[in-house]
Structure 1
């Protein structure tokens, strides 16, 4: 039918003919039930879209300890040696100070079993040598003091001798002057008598001879006193020279004694240095011998021995075994992406799922989650690891009604964690996930208050 006319005949046909097959058709009951179920499910899904959903940041990590002292540590030896005896086996619980391993010496400088006693003998001999140097220094001090005292006495004696010589020269000069006067008088009398004898005989020959004899006597005395004066003057010069030579003589002796004293002081200082080295060596030998017994630094379990057998050589600072401290303060190292770090603050709640503990997780509905454990963000690292992730340290959440972490947890076990953020509708979270947007940056009131206080 091309329906070219404006008049329709379908109505007339329907009135004239009754279509029985169409009347016999009806909707099945199962379809009605399915329709109702779909409507209910749709209503429920729409209602779910408006339920609150707690945003979270997911991270993976493992179990560790909060403080470094509680983390597994490698026990290392300080000195090189040869393994002689193992005192423990793997899995043993040891106390602080318990011997783990006994080693023997490998350096020939310390082979002598009597080395400490021999070093003490050397120390005693060196101390005796130092005592001798001290006695020598005391003797030289006394010698220098005696020389200085003798110098004072000798100088005083020489000064007195010079003074005596000066007085003697003065006395001899007076005598010489007196004799010179006597000689002049005798010479005048003799000349006068000789004139008188020649001119008139007023003076007899015997008187003239007597005056000549007197003249000879006074000349002889004058010569004698002049010689005595010359000797006195020479003695005075000698006394002055001796006075000057005393200073040089005693200065030389005192300088030599002081030089000997300086040498003794230098030897004493060298001996004290060697004595200090011996004391240091004795102490080092004692400490080294104590290092033959490698001891546990703290209470813990011997987890794994890194060296085996008897007679094996170990180097300085080489790891021997691994020790897990007893009753560590457990924590979780959780790694999150760099884009999520600005959303996380210290004190944020974390839900943790430990490997080996069954759980049913609804990350956005913590109250409906089963088998997870609570934690608190304690530390946020300032630098990332090599994979561009940041580490969070999570400690147990201590709260009434909060389940404690299992005591069976072991270091290194895997953990999945969810850092809980703010509440948003489910539809918003679905929309955010579809668009790959980060969680909201809106802070909780308490977190905002902490940020303001920090600023």
Structure 2
């Protein structure tokens, strides 16, 4: 009762029958309030010294740790027309299973016997190559026979030349002897002439000596002619030797030219054969690409081209395969101001969308419904939004992440930092200071970038 009226009724109230009124009027509320304020103040001061875990809040989404475990889009390597589907959305496929059958749409590959015709061309080119090889071997054998024949004929010609030179030497000696005989016969004839003039020799003896002298002169002329003929034989032997060698070189040059021509044809045939073999491999590979196969085991999702007879272009995406076995991870994004606080191996508390949780940011151990992870990668460059990406993997020492978790689900996280008193954290928040630099035991700070300074 406020007792503000001039006509108070308190004197008319019988308090003996109102025990609650007596209790309220007799209570000392100020003293109780003081005690409560004192207790709360003591509790507040004690709470200011409780430990508080600094953290950085971040959001992201669920992904996979390995690139080959993420959803993979399947593209067509070649363009074609859809003939038949072998899967539907939600099917599980093994690596190598056929997904789709395409038919050809380019007129250059319409021939149904294209591989057989190309194989026939390859066999014909191989036979042509063998013919060139046989011709080259035959020309090589012919050149070897020419060299052997030329060697024998050269030796024969050299022998003839040597024989002619020996004949010249012999005829030269005969000429010298004939010249001496002629000189002796001339001297004897002159002496007989003098003796005949003196009457000491008869005319018959003089004429006999004249005949002997003339016979010696004839022998001298015959020796000179024979020497000249021998010298001509030497010249003829030399000419024949040079002719044999020239003809051998000419024949070898012609055979070598034909051999090089055959080798050039062989190289052209080899190039054509290689080109045909490559073309055949391309045709064979293209035929195999008519069947689109699964690159890995997984589940078929998001079939984008469904119609039979629909034409697909080269590189067009037709469906997506989600791998069956994958290791989950979370990609988070932090601001550049918080990037220096991040370290490899740092602990992270994660809350996944769809899983209820009670989170106490400063006391992570008291949170419920959160999952523990650790930083395994930090990007070196920022994204287009100016944020830096972190990769979070499950902590092997903590409980497993939910099995029903799927790639692409949202996640929010608390990246745990240093433990500080609550009063310090309040003071830091009021002043707008960043969290303390903290490197947990066993964590690896990001390496600074290497800058190459030009000389």
With the length of structure 2 as denominator, give the TM-score of the two structures. 0.81
Mapping for residues 17-416 of structure 1, pairs under 5 Å? 29=24, 40=36, 43-44=39-40, 47-48=43-44, 49-50=47-48, 51-180=50-179, 203=202, 219-399=217-397, 402=399, 404-416=400-412
CA distance in 2, matches of 1:124, 1:213: 92
Instruction: Give the equivalent residue in structure 2 for 1:14.
Output: none
1:424 partnered with 2:454: no
TM-score by length of 1: 0.81
More moved, 191-200 vs 328-337: 191-200
Flag structure 1 segments of 5+ consecutive residues without an equivalent.
Answer: 1-18
For the 8 Å contact 1:77–1:317, the answer to whether it is kept is: yes
Distance apart, 1:65 and its partner CA: 0.7
Contact 2:343 2:444 in 1 (8 A): no
Q: How far off is 1:196 after superposition?
A: 7.2
User: Aligned partners of 1:22, 1:58: CA distance in 2, in Å?
Assistant: 63
1:97 CA drift (Å)? 0.9
**1:132-156 superposed Cα distances (whole Å, 9 cap, x missing partner):** 2222222222222222222222222
Aligned-pair RMSD on alpha carbons?
3.6
Distance 2:29 2:371 in 1: 42
- Asked if the contact 2:343–2:443 (Cα under 8 Å) also holds between the matched residues in 1, the reply is no
Q: Contact 1:63 / 1:332 at 8 angstroms: preserved in 2?
A: yes
1:298 match: secondary structure:
coil
- Contact 1:331–1:396 (Cα < 8 Å) also in 2: yes
Deviation string 1:230-278 (CA, Å, 9 cap, x unpaired) is: 2222222211222233322222222222232223223323322222222
| 1:333 and 1:391 in contact (8 A); partners too | yes
User: Offset at 1:83?
Assistant: 2.3
Contact 1:376 1:397 in 2 (8 A): yes
2:118–2:280: 8 Å Cα contact kept in structure 1?
yes
Question: Gapped runs of 5+ residues in structure 2?
Answer: 1-5, 12-20, 449-455
SS at match of 2:154: helix
Contact 1:193-1:203 at 8 Å conserved across structures: no
Cα distance between partner residues in 1 of 2:254 and 2:38 = 118
| Matched position secondary structure for 1:62 | strand
Indicate conservation of the 8 Å contact 1:53/1:423, yes or no.
yes
Cα 1:386/1:180, change in 2 over 3 Å: closer
